[in-house]
């Protein structure tokens, strides 16, 4: 993550999708992702915040569905 070494298992996420009936068809309309990130001591928090702020725009999956599915996210960042 932006040049910050984060040990395996210190980044995780959960995702929740919302389906709605549109024209009598069940359609995925929203996805909310919640990240949990444990940063090592001394990590540059500003770099992490910048990476989080731009990640949706750089994610191939998000870019592929952005016109039809609302994507939101939140992050719990634990330092040190």
pLDDT digits (tens, 9 = 90+) for 24-45: 999 999 999 999 999 888 888 8
Above 70 in pLDDT, residue 2? no
The SS3 assignment for 56 reads helix
Mean pLDDT of 49-74: 92
- pTM of the prediction? 0.79
Q: Could you tell me which CATH number the domain at 11-79 has?
A: 3.30.300.20
Above 60 in pLDDT, residue 10? yes
Above 80 in pLDDT, residue 3? no
Residue pair 12/36 in contact by the 8 Å Cβ criterion: yes
Q: Which residue has the tokens 């990130």?
A: 37
Residue pair 54/48 in contact by the 8 Å Cβ criterion: no
């Amino acid at each position: 993550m932006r040049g910050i070494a984060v040990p395996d298992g210190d980044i995780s996420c959960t995702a929740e999708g919302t389906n709605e009936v549109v024209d009598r068809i069940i359609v995925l309309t929203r996805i909310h992702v919640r990240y949990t990130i444990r940063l090592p001591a001394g990590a540059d928090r500003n770099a992490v915040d910048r990476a989080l702020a731009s990640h949706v725009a750089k994610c191939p999956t998000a870019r592929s569905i952005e016109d039809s599915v609302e994507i939101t996210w939140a992050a719990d960042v634990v330092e040190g």
